[in-house]
Structure 1
Amino acid sequence: MVAKTPYTDHSTFPDPVYKDTVLGPLFDGARDHFAHDFQRIDRAHLVMLREQKILSDDQAGKIAKALLAIEQEIDPATLVYTGEVEDFFFLIEKELKARLGADLGGRLHTARSRNDIDHTLFKLQLRAKITGLLGKILTLLETAINKAEAEKDTLIVAYTHGQPAQPTSFGHYLGALIEVLLRDAKRLLDALATVNLSPMGAAAITTSGFNIDRHRMAELLGFNAPLRNSYSCIAAIDYVSGTYGAMELLFLHLGRPIQDFQFWSSFEVGQLYVPNALVQISSIMPQKRNPVPIEHMRLLASQTFARARGMIEIMHNTPFTDMNDSEGETQAFGYQAFATAGRVIDLMTSFVSAITINDDKVSENIRKSCITITELADDLVRNEELSFREAHEIAAHVAKTIVAMNGDLTIDGYAPFKQAFAQSTGRETKMDAERFAIVVSARHFVAVRDRFGGPGDTAITGALACYRDDVSSLRAGLSACSERAASADNLLQSEFNALPGASA
């Protein structure tokens, strides 16, 4: 009996289970998401190798002709993984070798690796997805600014701890939302700057002994520049975590005003009116007006948040090296976050444009809640020379009295105020009933709060102008990225077409 050694291995690649559970899905992902970008990288690398005289004109021309033939004859959408090659990259190389022979067909891969190719593919996809999402966010910002401009004099009840607190304007509320969105958009634009650094030329880890031109590769693919450290190109995944971290924060923050919209549109509060186009009915209760788009915004925002958080958790505790954890299937998982993100932003843009404030309900809620009473205390400090604490106690007594009688502060509040003032100070107030009605009115409350950041006319007008400037700056940054990518596509097409054989 012949003893078996542990080195005897008659298995053949790929193991069928490995093929079905890993290699097949990875191939499908590359086919579905990266086929076009594979072509761009091959073309750019070929142009660079020829310019650097690593390939001759004749070699480059023949490879260019073969690449064109592959693009024209093979529709990636029809490809099915068979296991004959390891992955999508080797399929293309196999096709090149079949047309050109093993020697020439293998020369396109000079001075590069699947490592730098993969991260370049991922960055090209992320760049397109981030720019698309940022475009939608800027449209939402512009819509919100226009709405805030139109509603800067529209009163609402502002709530703290779920209770009526003070009057402000809908424009002022939207300004707060706009400021958060602006910061979130800036974070996403910062993430885009990291994405827009090219890994090409890093090869496996340490670049190459060939005289490659990494800056030229970055230019041909529309990146701002090469990412400097080659180890970083294949190991640093902060372009992934930075992107999805920014998305996670964005949709965490968006969920909060969505919650407010749900609360404001309730029957009991009723200060937000959602038009019929965004309302569904009950199948059994005829009286119901259900603003379910709000729920869908909340749902989709939560799904986006969870998927973005999931991407960061996948990256957690992974080694600082090239590894599959950050690659094909993970990238495809992240794209689901962009899909739901775009739906939320589009829906919120339409929603913000359509909603209005129910002025009658706001007036009634202001009347019932006495939320202008803070200004009475402030006025007593300014004009009656009381301490704020004493003024606060007088105002509190008036508010309790009016709420208990279900009265109207502007109409019914002067008598209890006059009495409380005299009891507290031992003198008569200088304020008459007419002046009292003005001081405790919601319009006056908002108007006198014209400090920097407040809802008063000068403050909110200045803020809206600043927001428009910020959006213009963000749009300029986004446009520069998009224009660079488009120019690079034209440049790459031109340089590739100039190769001998490329147009033959």
Structure 2
Amino acid sequence: MSVRGERLSQGMAAEVRELVYRPRLERETKHALEHMHAINQAHLLMLKRHGFLSKDIAAVLAREMLELQRQGAEALPNDPSLEDLYFNCETALIARTGVEIGGSLHVGRSRNDIGATIDRMRARREILDLIEAVSRVRSSLLDQAERHADTVMPGYTHLQPSQPVTFGFYLLGVATALARDIERLRAEYRRMNLCPLGAGAMAGTSFAIDRNMTAGLLAFDGVAEHSQDAVAARDYMLSLSAIGASLSTTWSRLAQDFYVWTTAEFALIDFADSVAGVSSIMPQKKNPVVIEALKANAGEVIGDYTAMLATMRASHFTHSIDATRASLNRAWTLFETCRSSMTLLDLLVAAVIPRARRMRELTANNFSTMTDLADFIVQRHGLSFREAHHIVGYVTRRALEEKIAASGITAEMVTEAVEIVLHRRIEFGATEISDILDPQKSVERRISLGAPCPAETLRMLAAQRMVLQQDEGFVTVVRQVLADKAAALKQAVEALASIVVEPAAATA
């Protein structure tokens, strides 16, 4: 019997077969076959328990389904004229059991709810894989942050020197941002781990099936109840892709900082040669190829997310190729790019080498301690901050005009600035001014909550390690639940398959 049934009078056009269904079948066979087998087995157990299939017929189906699973893709026709993976699986099963038995498995379900269920099963695995990948990067960032918690460097705003920080403080900030993306992934896992199976094409079924049973067998936390929403909705994929875009934005911003800092003009960091490339003509070149790849990958992720939105927009709120199939192709690519980028980023973070002496020299001379000087004037001499701001602004302009580095600013220069700006005289000691302008002491003075002093950095770092440990524990627990549920499903199907079948039932 043809899967096209009696509704269509013509065979499938070769162009449709090759351009629409062959690519789809290849993708589904590679990524969804395992999930298809699990869904078929869970549905079989439910049909048997609730009397939709006899014990003997269910046992025959169980045996043949297990054999198809054992043989893998080689057991399937792999024929795009059958349209998709579902029909290839059903055709293979019917070939082994006959249409009376093999054709009975499709009671109370549709390709639409099967596809929706596969998408969620794939998505939850992608979530776990991505959490693991991001966690590895966070661990490397935290290790480097601890190692360089007192390595003073210039902080920047508008790419201009701002205030002294430490290299460890900077890396800890990136690790903190990545932690929020994992928090979002965990939240989305909880929202999306609901089972669409049994929703049918979009309006449920007249069979009194047990959707809660199949949801439990497939390790879902519950049922996606509304049948049309269960089939139509892929908003969780939009959310996951948005998280991927957020993640890519964070890694590309770090990559951009590293890109600038590794130039000869900044010379703040270097990298191990293992993550660099060379020039074919310029022998002196050491090219930051991993950084450039990360920046490019972020663009690809955002492009995939945009393509997904563009494909899904204006589709009807139900099942259709553009809404629930084609739109997701870019999502799977997006997840793969995010994972590979995390591998590169982890490599990059481990290979970064801060040039501590250069960092300190720049921080001492590029006027990033001027806020410290303004704060000191407020705290020691009782001026308003705006008055102190004007005084230090004058000092900075004079030093720049006279080509004096920040470290060369004297107490006399500050005293003269007060006289010019406020028309009053305040004496400053040479030692206290040099202490205020010392970048190492500047960082140590920044003791407010979340500030870059080493003690506060290490406190925040310890807190982030605890969060990381919780995230890693989440993945471990969920993977164990999925493995236990898969093992229980296999055991139940094997037990069903072991039932001795009456000879007549095998050909019923």
Q: What range is the shorter-chain TM-score in?
A: over 0.9
Q: In the alignment, which of 101, 108, 112 is matched to residue 104 of structure 1?
A: 101
- The aligned counterpart of 1:240 is 237
1:498 Cα shift?
A: 0.9
- The aligned counterpart of 2:34 is 36
CA distance in 2, matches of 1:64, 1:362: 67
- Report which stretch shifted further, 380-389 or 271-280: 271-280
- Report which stretch shifted further, 423-432 or 467-476: 423-432
Deviations 1:332-384 (A, max 9, x none): 33222122211111111111122122122223322432110111111011101
Letter in 2 for 1:228: E
Q: Residues 102-501 of structure 1 correspond to what in structure 2 (within 5 A)?
A: 102-424=99-421, 428-501=425-498
CA distance in 1, matches of 2:249, 2:52: 50
CA distance in 2, matches of 1:421, 1:110: 88
**Cα gap change, 1:328 to 1:81, in 2 (>3 Å):** farther
1:117 Cα shift?
A: 0.5
- Report which stretch shifted further, 340-349 or 302-311: 302-311
Letter in 1 for 2:494: N
**Cα gap change, 1:503 to 1:251, in 2 (>3 Å):** farther
- Residue 71 in 1 paired to residue 80 in 2? no
Deviations 1:439-478 (A, max 9, x none): 1111122112110111123322222122222222322333
CA distance in 2, matches of 1:25, 1:421: 75
- State the SS of the aligned residue for 1:111: coil
The answer on whether the counterparts of 2:234 and 2:324 sit within 8 Å (CA) in structure 1 is: no
Deviations 1:303-330 (A, max 9, x none): 1221123222222222111121134444
- State the SS of the aligned residue for 1:54: coil
Gaps of 5+ in 1: 1-8
The answer on whether the counterparts of 2:307 and 2:327 sit within 8 Å (CA) in structure 1 is: no
- State the SS of the aligned residue for 2:164: strand
1:412 Cα shift?
A: 4.2
- State the SS of the aligned residue for 1:28: helix
CA distance in 2, matches of 1:492, 1:366: 62
Letter in 1 for 2:13: D
1:228 Cα shift?
A: 2.2
**Cα gap change, 1:71 to 1:420, in 2 (>3 Å):** closer
CA distance in 2, matches of 1:239, 1:423: 62
CA distance in 2, matches of 1:493, 1:80: 25
CA distance in 1, matches of 2:334, 2:208: 40
The answer on whether the counterparts of 1:114 and 1:204 sit within 8 Å (CA) in structure 2 is: yes
1:52 Cα shift?
A: 2.0
1:87 Cα shift?
A: 2.9
**Cα gap change, 1:73 to 1:447, in 2 (>3 Å):** closer
CA distance in 1, matches of 2:75, 2:351: 40
CA distance in 1, matches of 2:407, 2:86: 76
Deviations 1:173-211 (A, max 9, x none): 122212221111212222222332111111222333333
How many matched pairs? 495
CA distance in 1, matches of 2:499, 2:365: 78
- State the SS of the aligned residue for 2:32: helix
- State the SS of the aligned residue for 2:156: strand
Q: In the alignment, which of 60, 63, 81 is matched to residue 62 of structure 1?
A: 60
The answer on whether the counterparts of 1:93 and 1:105 sit within 8 Å (CA) in structure 2 is: yes
CA distance in 2, matches of 1:404, 1:35: 71
The TM-score normalised by the length of structure 1 is 0.92
CA distance in 1, matches of 2:500, 2:249: 51
The answer on whether the counterparts of 2:112 and 2:201 sit within 8 Å (CA) in structure 1 is: yes
- The aligned counterpart of 1:4 is none
> What do you get for the CA RMSD once the two structures are aligned?
2.3
1:103 Cα shift?
A: 1.7
CA distance in 2, matches of 1:117, 1:256: 40
The answer on whether the counterparts of 2:152 and 2:359 sit within 8 Å (CA) in structure 1 is: yes
**Cα gap change, 1:183 to 1:222, in 2 (>3 Å):** same
1:11 Cα shift?
A: 5.0
**Cα gap change, 1:465 to 1:398, in 2 (>3 Å):** same
Letter in 1 for 2:176: E
1:434 Cα shift?
A: 1.0
- State the SS of the aligned residue for 1:222: coil
Letter in 1 for 2:141: A
The answer on whether the counterparts of 1:115 and 1:204 sit within 8 Å (CA) in structure 2 is: yes
Deviations 1:406-431 (A, max 9, x none): 33433442331233234455665353
1:82 Cα shift?
A: 5.3
The answer on whether the counterparts of 1:235 and 1:322 sit within 8 Å (CA) in structure 2 is: yes
CA distance in 2, matches of 1:97, 1:275: 59
- The aligned counterpart of 2:43 is 45
- State the SS of the aligned residue for 2:496: coil
**Cα gap change, 1:385 to 1:24, in 2 (>3 Å):** same
- The aligned counterpart of 1:6 is none
- Residue 92 in 1 paired to residue 89 in 2? yes
Deviations 1:94-127 (A, max 9, x none): 2322322222221111111111101111111122
**Cα gap change, 1:221 to 1:421, in 2 (>3 Å):** same
- State the SS of the aligned residue for 1:106: helix
CA distance in 2, matches of 1:111, 1:402: 81
The answer on whether the counterparts of 1:68 and 1:502 sit within 8 Å (CA) in structure 2 is: no
**Cα gap change, 1:106 to 1:11, in 2 (>3 Å):** closer
- State the SS of the aligned residue for 1:14: coil
